[in-house]
A = this chain, B = another copy of it.
Amino acid sequence: MAKGASQRYARRELQTSERPRRQQTFTERTELQYARRLVIKLGSAVITREDEHGLALGRLASIVEQVAECQIDGRECIMVTSGAVAFGKQKLTQELLMSMSMRETLSPADHTREHAGTMLEPRAAAAVGQSGLMSLYDAMFAQYGVKIAQVLVTKPDFYNEETRKNLFSTLSELISLNIVPIINTNDAVSPPPDIPDDEVAGGSGRRGISIKDNDSLAAMLAAEIQADLLVLMTDVDGIYNLPPWQDGAKMLHTFSSDHRNTIKFGEKSKVGTGGMSSKVNAALWAMDRGVAVVICKGTQERAIKSIISGRKIGTFFTQAAGSSTPVEVIAEYARVGSRVLQALRPEERAECIRILADLLESRQSDILAANAMDLEAASKKNLAKALLSRLSLTPAKLKSLSSGLHKIAEDSLNNVGRIVRRTKLAEGLELQQITVPIGVLLVIFESRPDSLPQVAALAMSSANGLLLKGGKEAANSNRYLMQLVKEALAKFEASNAISLVPTREDVSDLLSMEKHIDLIIPRGSSDLVRTIQEQSKHIPVLGHAEGICHVYIDKDADLTKALRIIRDSKCDYPAACNAMETLLIHEGLMRGNFFNDVCSMLHNEEVKINSGPKIREILTFGPPAAKSMRTEYGALECTIEVVSDVDDAINHIHKYGSSHTDVIVTEDTNTAKHFQREVDSACVFHNASTRFADGYRFGLGAEVGISTARIHARGPVGVDGLLTTKWILKGDGQTVADFAEGGSGSWLHQPLPLSES
C-alpha cells in the first residue's frame, strides 16, 4: 500500500472521534440502505476453495467488487479477513511441487498436490500467505481506484488500553482518508488463547467480549468505531432455529432479542475457527452496542449489495422489541385455520360472513376514522384523484359492501362438500367426488380497501385459509378491517385462518413457499400480475397479465350493432382488462363508409386511433402507425387493422392476442360458430361487447379474478375457482384382489344421481 499516495487524498469527513453518533440503531432491513460505515468480516470458509487448496478467487473478487462499490458510493468499509492460511498453503504447495523431482510430478497432479498440502503446518502457511493475500487485495482494489491498508492485529493489542487506543485512532485516520482498512489477526504469531469474558482488560461491560476469533474481533471493532452495520460472512445461509440438518429446522430471517435463549446450535462449521454460537454471541454483543448485524452466506451472489438494498439475505439481528410473527408461522396458522373452517358446517361459515357484514355497518365510524388517516396521508402525497377515490370508503360503499357480503353468505351454503360426481363402482362400493377448499390462498391487491372484506368473505365461504397483502396507502383501513374479519372468525375459533401479510418483503418470501401457499391471486395492475407470475416458480398464480382483446367486424356484420359494440368495448371503461384494444375490420367493409363512421365515432369519444400495416397499405392518408399489434393501451386509444376474412382475423388474434376475450360481429351464424370454435381464448363472444367478460355479469357471484391460464380456471372466476375436489370411497372391506381375474368382485361403474337419497 502506497503511503505517499494516500496522503494526496482529501479527508472526506470529520474524524471518527468527532463523528456525531447516529440517532438510532437500525431495526428494519429497509433502513440498512442508510448504513454508512460497514464492517465486513469474511470467514475463511467463504474464500477458501472446496478442496481447501487456495482461495476461491471468484468469490473473493466478487466481495472486493462489492466493497469497492460501497466505498465509491461514499460508504466507509472496514474488512476483517481470514484466508491467509489457505493462501499460504497454496503457495507453499506450489513451492514444494516445484522442488520435487520430475518423476514425482509425473504422477497424477491431484495426488501430489494433496500430498504436498498435507505436509504444511497452518502457522507456516499463514506466514507465507499474509503478504501474498495483501498484495492480491491490493491488486484487486486497485481496479476500482480504491486504496487499502493492511492492519495486522494480535489479541493483546485489544486488551492493552494504549495499543487499543492507537489501533482505533489509526483506523479512524485511514477511514477519514477514504482508505479501506483490511484487518487480520496475526495468525502466524498469535493462536488466540481462550480468555474468558471477565478477564478482559478494563472489565467493563462496554468492551466485555473476548476476542476468541475473527467474529468477536469484528464485533468489537464494529462497536468501537461506531459502525452502522456488521456483516459476518460464513458458510451457511444464516441462523437456524435448530441445527440445520434436523427435521423442522428453519432459517431465521430475523433474530430478535427474544430468540436469545431459544436457539439450539449444532457443531461448529467445518472450516474456520468460529462456530455458529460464537457468531451469534458476537452478533448479539455488537447489536447491544447499536450495530446492526447480518450473518449471511458469503458465497451468496452479491450478498453485501443485497443486504444494503434491504433484501432478506441471511439473518438480521434486531433489537426491535416483540418483532412480528414470522410470515411462515402466519402461513401455518392459515393452514390450521383453514382446517377449522372446513370442519364447520356451511351454516356456521355463512354466519361468520354475516357477522362480518354486520360489523361493516355497526363499526362504520371506526372504519371511516381509520380510512380518514389513510386519506390524509395520501392527500399529503398528492396522489392522483382516481387513486384517492378508490382509496376512500364512504357509508354508501360500506352499505353496499355489507349487502354484497350477505349475498356471498347466502350463496356459500353449497360450496364446500358439494357432491360433483357419484359412482357405484361395484356392489357395496360407492365413490363420491366432493368439493373441498384449495387450502391457503395468498391474495395481493392494490389500494382499494373494500377488496379486503370481500376477499375475506369469499375465503370464508370456500373454507380457505387466506393471507392478504393490501396496498401501503390503505394500511390503516386494512388493519382495522382485518380486525373485524378476525372478530367475525373468532366466534368459531377460526381467527387464524385469515391474516394480513405485514410487508411487501414477506410477500416475496411467500412466493417461494409452495408448502404453505396453494394459490396466489394478484388483483391489480398487469405489472403487479406479471411480477408475481415471474417470481412465483412453483405456486400457481390465478390471473392474467394482459388483456389484448379484439373485436372483429365481419363482412356480414350489422353495422349499427358493430358501432355499438365497438363503442362499448372501447369506451365503457377503457382501463379494464376486458376493454377492446384492437379492432379488426373485414377488407370488404373498407369500400363503404363504415371505416369513416367508426373513425368519427371514436373521434367523438376522444379515442386515439393507430393503424396496422395492412390498413396503411390501403389508405394514402390514415391514422399513425401502431407501434406494435400487441399493445394493451388501457386508455382511450386503440389499433385498427384490416383482415381479409374470418380466418385471417382468427390468425391475427392467435398471433397477437392474449387469449382473454375476443368478439365477432356478424349476422352469419356459421361464420360466428366457426370463429367461436376456432378462437382459442378464454371468452369468445358473438355480437356482444368484450366488456361482458366479468364474473358478476356471467352470474358467477363475486368475482375472484379473470384467468387466462389454461388449467384450473379460465375466464371470469367465481368462488368455484377457490375450490378443488377430493374422492371419498365407502366400502365394506373390499380389496382390489377381489377384482382380479377369477375374483369375486365385478365392476359396475354406474353413475349415480348427485343427490343422495
Q: Which residues of A contact B (CB under 8 A)?
A: 5, 8-10, 53-58, 60-62, 64-65, 72, 74, 87, 90-91, 93-94, 97-98, 102, 105-106, 109-110, 113, 135-136, 139-140, 142-145, 247, 339, 342-343, 417, 423, 425, 429, 431, 433, 436, 438-439, 518-519, 533, 537-538, 540, 558, 560-561, 564-565, 567-568, 572, 628, 654, 665, 672, 676-678, 680-689, 691-693, 697-699, 710-712, 714-716, 724-737, 739, 747, 749
Q: Specify how many copies of this chain sit in the oligomer.
A: 2
Instruction: Identify which of A74, A339, A698 gathers the most chain B CB atoms within 10 Å of its CB.
Output: A698
Contact B5 A98, beta carbon cutoff 8 Å:
yes
Contact A425 B698, beta carbon cutoff 8 Å:
yes
Contact A8 B98, beta carbon cutoff 8 Å:
yes
Q: How far is the CA of A299 from the CA of B434 in the complex (A)?
A: 52
Contact B54 A143, beta carbon cutoff 8 Å:
yes
Q: How far is the CA of A736 from the CA of B91 in the complex (A)?
A: 79
Q: How far is the CA of A5 from the CA of B99 in the complex (A)?
A: 10
Beyond A57-B64, A342-B677, A689-B735, 9 additional pairs, beta carbon < 8 A:
A58-B62, A72-B110, A339-B654, A519-B710, A558-B733, A561-B733, A572-B735, A682-B727, A711-B711
Contact A540 B537, beta carbon cutoff 8 Å:
no
A interface majority secondary structure: mixed
Q: How far is the CA of A398 from the CA of B9 in the complex (A)?
A: 84
Q: Which residue of B lies closest to A145 (CB)?
A: B94
Contact A57 B140, beta carbon cutoff 8 Å:
yes
Report if A688-B734 is in contact (Cβ < 8 Å); known contacts: A94-B142, A682-B727: yes
Chain B residues near A665 (CB, 8 Å)?
733
Contact B54 A65, beta carbon cutoff 8 Å:
no
Chain B residues near A97 (CB, 8 Å)?
145
Q: Which 10 A-B pairs rank lowest in CB-CB distance, beginning with the nearest?
A: A688-B731, A568-B735, A561-B733, A61-B61, A699-B749, A58-B62, A711-B712, A685-B729, A712-B712, A691-B736
Chain B residues near A693 (CB, 8 Å)?
727
Instruction: Identify which of A94, A686, A733 gathers the most chain B CB atoms within 10 Å of its CB.
Output: A733
Contact B72 A109, beta carbon cutoff 8 Å:
yes
- Can you report 25 residue pairs joining A to B where beta carbons are below 8 Å apart? A10-B106, A57-B65, A58-B62, A72-B109, A90-B143, A90-B144, A94-B145, A342-B680, A423-B698, A431-B698, A433-B715, A439-B710, A540-B711, A561-B733, A564-B735, A572-B735, A665-B733, A682-B727, A686-B728, A687-B732, A688-B729, A688-B733, A688-B734, A692-B736, A699-B749
Contact A729 B58, beta carbon cutoff 8 Å:
no
Contact B90 A339, beta carbon cutoff 8 Å:
no
- Residue from B143, B697, B715 within 8 A of A55 (CB atoms): B143
- Residue from B423, B519, B684, B699 within 8 A of A423 (CB atoms): B699
